[in-house]
Homo-oligomer: A and B are copies of this chain.
């Protein structure tokens, strides 16, 4: 067995010890004689798995009691519809467009009412976060929507927008559990698991109870109502049980590591290795304005497309996978989620130095 350093933007690297445990428990979960994949979701064994996962997540994030935690399916893309279907009362939503995913959420919401783009960084290929201190928030807005960490572009909000009293809804998919969050500032947080938490096929929703209502838009499917899942504690129908089990193991791993403060410290050090190198490099440079840089996704370029291509090819041969940038940004992108070992970034930087020595003019 030889593991690569996997810089994929998602699905992404998972902690090695989580995968090891999952492999060991595959045929017989803790003496119950079956795999978690084979377990009735109504069994006591699985109730314990999902119950502990929720409790650990609540502890890690300090989720207040007036918030529900839901383990759902359909990814962020399904949330783009589910949010307006459930939260639109005036059918008005204000969106801050910081990339492709925020834009998709905005477009989907416009199927159900008035979606306003109150700010955007499209003018500079989403390489920064707009000033959100005094936005033209709509008076009748049901919520203000942000994508807090932008996977493709490598930006992250360092301060939350002033929503002028409106509910804040946030996609945290690519920065979920990477640092502490004050949940009470949000009405709804959601995150696809496949970046920082577990396998694809699970989306975690943290929603303030007053936003969960019977009153949804006409034609909202039963499965797309938050109330359906909140009332049934995520067991209205068969949940993505194996994925939830893996998420639970990742929560345990984070707790052992010291929780989100400890994780943040590690992530800051890890990202600094790469950013500090980029800032003094004669060949490579980061594409994001310094103050809005993400700790999770680091896009960079050489400024020469042929050289970028060579770098991706040679890095791959050296055991660094998925460093090719998104087609809309070009160049390279290193996604360095929680589970990326510091060693992986150290080795990447060493490789970049070597490459620079050979190719810098």
A binding-site residues for B, Cβ under 8 Å: 1-4, 6, 8-14, 16, 19-20, 22-24, 26-28, 31-35, 37-41, 43, 73-78, 80-82, 85, 108, 111-112, 192, 194, 198-202, 217-219, 221-224, 236-243, 246, 319, 321-322
Contacts and interface: CB of A to CB of B under 8 A. Distances in A.
Contacts of A6: 33-34, 38
Closest 3 pairs between A and B when the two form their complex, measured CB to CB = A201-B240, A4-B33, A81-B221
A141 to B, nearest CB: 20
A37 B11 contact: yes
Contacts of A112: 219
B9 A200 contact: no
From A19, A37, A80, A240, residue with most partner B Cβ within 10 Å: A37
Contacts of A23: 23-24, 26-27
B241 A242 contact: no
A199 B241 contact: yes
30 contacts: A3-B33, A4-B33, A4-B34, A6-B33, A6-B38, A8-B40, A11-B38, A11-B238, A12-B38, A14-B35, A20-B26, A26-B26, A33-B321, A40-B322, A73-B73, A73-B75, A74-B78, A75-B238, A76-B237, A77-B236, A81-B223, A81-B224, A108-B222, A199-B241, A200-B239, A200-B241, A201-B201, A201-B240, A201-B242, A242-B242
